[in-house]
Amino acid sequence: MDELCTGLCKLMAEAGADVGLAQFVSLLVGVLLVSGVPLVTVILLIWVERKVAARIQDRIGPNRVGPLGLLQTFADMLKLLSKEDITPTAADRILYNIAPLVSFASVVLIWAVIPFTPFHYGVDLEIGALYFVAIASFGTLSIMAAGWASNNKYALLGAFRVVALLVSYEVPLVFALLAPVMLAGSMSLVDIVNAQTGMWFVVLSPLAFVIFYISSQAETGRAPFDLIEAESELVAGFNIEYSGMKFGMFFAAEFLHVFTNGILMALLFFGGWMGPLFYESPLIAFAWLGVKGTIIYLTTLWLRNTVPRLRIDQIMAFNWKFLVPLSIANLIFLSLALKILQELGMAPRDLIGASFAEVLPATIVMLLINLAMTVYLLGIMRKRGREARRESQAGAALARAGAAGD
Amino acid sequence: MELNAVTIGFFIFSVFTLGGGIGVVTTRNLFQGTIWLMVSLFGVAGYFVLLSAPFLAAVQILVYIGAIAILITFAVMLTRSVTRIRERYIRTVPSFVASLALFLVLLFGVTVPIFGEQNPEAIPAFVMTTRDLGVALVDADGYVAPFLLASILLTAAMIGAIFIARDEES
């Protein structure tokens, strides 16, 4: 029996089943389980999101269907399913119908590489981090296809704005993603988590985490970057012509994407399944990952419901003039510091399995570098803010003078 | 050729690649053409997976589908007529001659052993990992010079593009 056949497959083969069949069945069960987790989670997530938003806005939120309104999503799903399935006459039929599927699949496919525990994952790809970025590009594609295939000018305008936003924020996202990859010396998500036994990467590179957090908030199209559904400006954005379950797919994809990003950040920066007693049982490891991911997810909801929407030019200026240079500088300083520390013998060459004491000196140096960069950045931001204020005050004074002169 | 998972995968990805290519040149709709182009590029990414080069597969999707094809859709949508293009490509004879010549060269190169005897068993069973690829790119004995040259070229191209696109007065 080869190494491909372990676990369930091995049990079945020992019970007398054909090895090929056993392999197929166990793979099928694995695929169903891995894709089932996000599909079931999203039903609950919609309830969580609405309830949290309601509480922040001093409302009660869904509370009629089931205890605490837990079954509200099922009622909504039934409503969406029973609606008429409309395809506009002038739409590009095939693209119009495929776009929501691609949108949802682009999020579910990320879960293939997410390690739930040290031993339970869909697949431990050698290029896990890069796979995540590559799959995300399908999401961009689906929005473009939806906007164009609808044959509606508002949908197309919405798609233009969103794709410009997504393509731009992919740049700092990838640069920030390189920080954990560089620290771990591997793109595999399992290796990245294993490299955090000594110290979480959020301590080693807090700036990378902040950049990743901001850009993933933009990638999911949440406030302050919610150009995707700027109702007051775009009618509804790229999905204006969609109704029923096809709209529901876009909706579910967005909600799931936010949670997926929470889990990803927990894996990349917060040690994934690491926590007290995680080696005792895979269930405890899984619970730690869930707790960390959920806390990050809740902070994104909090942010979404607190800040107002930015204008598109402000979003673009913030990205290209601030976030991208910052992420590049962060990467340069990080790699330099890491190499120098390794040459001096202050940091282990391989962080996988390194203990807390081994990583501590490197952590202190890294933290100091990050602190220095943050102080410098805050100085720049303060100067820019002052200049902008002075300009706007001067403009207002001019306007007053002009009005008085008439 | 024995029928196993790799062979089946090869045929599926070939259908994607060739079918996408046919779609690109036959459709009368520019946007659908770019979508077909993405299908074709996706098939090529599949080949990379079959050849145990997952890094190249991911880069293929990220760069060609995620960046270049999206840029092409932008450009396409800014053109005047996207659908029902009536203009036909008229230089059919030179195109036909060129593609036939390319096909014959490829056929000749694959079937006739110009560069010595082809022996599939002689290829070492060595799978190049992503780490090996990365080391080869920065190793002095590897490809560090071409890698740096390409980086400088790309930077120069980017600065040039910014300079050309810049407003005169600013």
Residue of B nearest to A143 (CA): B70
- Spatial distance between the Cα atoms of B130 and B136, rounded to a whole number of angstroms: 10
Rg (CA), chain B: 21
Confidence of residue A294 (pLDDT cuts 50, 70, 90): very high
Taking the C-alpha atoms of residue B103 and residue B106, their distance in angstroms, rounded to an integer, is 5
Helix or strand (DSSP H, E) at A40: helix A19-56
Which DSSP string corresponds to A88-119? -TTS-HHHHHHHHHHHHHHHHGGGGG-BSSSS
Counted across chains A and B, CB pairs separated by less than 8 A come out at 61
Judge whether B129 is closer than 8 Å to chain A, CB to CB: yes
Q: Which residue reads 């995968």 in tokens?
A: B9
Q: Residue A152's pLDDT is what?
A: 82
What ipTM does this complex have? 0.79
Confidence grade of residue B119 (pLDDT, cut at 50, 70, 90): low
Contact call for B70 and A187, based on CB within 8 A: no
- For residue B1, pLDDT beyond 60: no
Task: Identify the burial level of A287 via C-beta atoms within 10 angstroms of its C-beta, where 0-12 means exposed, 13-18 middle and 19 or more buried.
Answer: middle
Chain B hits for A95, Cβ within 8 Å: 31-32, 35
**Residues A70, A46 contacting (CB under 8 angstroms):** no
The 10s digit of each residue's pLDDT in A259-281 is 999 999 999 999 888 888 777 78
A247 has pLDDT over 50: yes
- Domain locations in chain B as residue ranges: 1-86, 128-170
CATH of the domain spanning B1-86 = 1.20.120.1200
Q: Nearest-CA distance from A136 to chain B in Å?
A: 8
> Which of these ranges, A49-58, A117-126, B96-105, has the smallest mean pLDDT?
A117-126
Q: What is the pLDDT of residues B12-56, one digit of tens each?
A: 999 999 999 999 888 888 888 888 999 999 999 999 888 888 888
* B114 vs B125 pLDDT, higher one: B114
Q: What pLDDT sits at residue B67? A: 83
Confidence of residue A80 (pLDDT cuts 50, 70, 90): confident
Is the CB of residue A207 less than 8 Å from the CB of residue A370? yes
Closest-approach residue (CA) in chain B for A132: B58
Interface test with B, best of A2, A94, A102, A131 (most B CBs within 10 A): A131
- Indicate the residue of A95, A140, A145 with minimum beta-carbon distance to B66: A140
Mean pLDDT of A209-230: 85
Q: What is the CA radius of gyration of chain A?
A: 24
The region of weakest confidence among A127-141, A176-190, A226-240, A341-355 is A226-240
* A187·B130 Cβ contact <8 A: yes
Q: Taking CA atoms, what residue in A is nearest to B55?
A: A127
Nearest CA in chain B to A140: B66
Q: Does B85 touch chain A (CB under 8 A)?
A: no
DSSP A273-290: T-STTTTT-HHHHHHHHH
Residues contacting A62, CB < 8 A, separation 6+: A47, A50, A51, A54, A69, A72
Q: What is the pLDDT of residues A297-343, one digit of tens each?
A: 999 999 988 888 888 888 888 898 889 999 999 999 999 988 888 88
CB A231 within 8 A of CB A72: no
Strongest mean pLDDT among A338-347, B84-93, B128-137, B150-159: B150-159
Cross-chain Cβ contact A134/B66 below 8 Å: yes
Q: Which parts of chain B are beta strand (E)?
A: none
Dist CA B20 CA A91 (whole Å): 21
Does residue A18 register a pLDDT over 80?
A: no
Q: Which residue is it, tokens 């506009």?
A: A88
Domain ranges of chain A: 1-82, 84-405
- Residue predicted with more confidence, B125 or A178: A178
Phi, psi of B136 (to 5 degrees): -60, -30
Residues A111-123: tens digit of each pLDDT: 888 888 887 787 7
pLDDT at site B117: 66
